[in-house]
Amino acid sequence: MTVLSRDMNAKTFKNPGRPSRLGAITSMGILNFLLEQTAVYSLWQAPFAAEKLAPVLNHNDLREVRRVLDVGCGPGTNTKYFAGQDYLGVDINPGYIESARRKHDRAFLAADVTTYEDDHAGKFDFILVNSFLHHINDPDAHRVLSRLRNWLAPDGHLHILELIYPNDHSVARFLANWDRGKYLRPLDKWREMFEQHMNIVEFEPYPIKRMGTTLWNMVYCKGRIDS
């Protein structure tokens, strides 16, 4: 992921009266760079990974799952939960995939899911999309959801975890503004997007908290494709 665009307009840096703007750009660039490093990303995600996945585990019996497609799998963040299933993890970051392969004896693929084609991949009855769609714009998000429909088994479900952009001025909104993803959406926009591609079975907003403070607002969506 690009840290700072090479063709960034020089006017961004010309106003000496707004040093905070430059500081924010520089700080976010450094943060983005650090989170692209597998070790840093893993340490950052570790305290929250189980809490983020909790609604998926609460609403599904993973023992009944046969084939899993983990979209935006990172360095195998949730791979351990699918030890008994046929599993394929996909992420655009080759460093994450390399780390996942070292850590887990499973199948991983470095690919851009917005363009990836594989007619031999077969169907999956459990497709997990974890905190990925807020990194891509609306046309690409719709394209991905349409493609995932084609990879879903007739009796399967899509499972989407996404970051909600809060409407209030809160800690959660501050942290959302610092997220690497630049296409955060409010809850109603997520539902509107998902309803265009699936029949929603579960739609559950939930907070990620520490010491009583909401750090992030998330939503879990489970959907199926009816013929």
Question: Residue 139: what pLDDT?
Answer: 96
Question: How far is 140 from 127, CA to CA, in rounded Å?
Answer: 18
Q: Coil, strand or helix: which one is 208?
A: strand
Residue 19 pLDDT > 70, yes or no? no
Query: Is pLDDT at 8 greater than 50 in this prediction?
Result: no
- Asked whether residue 18 is domain-assigned, the answer is no
Q: What is the tally of structural domains in the chain?
A: 1
- Report yes or no on 190 lying in a domain: yes
Residue 45 has what pLDDT?
58
Flag whether 101 is in a domain: yes
Q: How far apart are alpha carbons 68 and 140 in whole angstroms?
A: 22
Cα–Cα distance for residue pair 100/116, rounded to 1 Å = 19
Provide, rounded to the nearest whole percent, the portion of the chain with pLDDT above 90.
Answer: 58
What is the pTM for the complete model shown?
A: 0.79
Domain that holds residue 82: 48-224
Decide if pLDDT at 182 tops 60.
yes
Query: Is 40 inside any structural domain?
Result: no
Residue 160: inside a domain: yes
Domain presence at residue 180:
yes
pLDDT in tens, 52-65: 999 999 999 999 99
Residue 215 lies inside a defined structural domain of this protein: yes
Domain CATH code at residue 185: 3.40.50.150
Q: Which residues, including other chains, have CB under 8 Å from residue 199's CB and lie 6 or more apart? A: 223, 224, 225, 226
Please report whether residue 118 resides in a domain.
yes
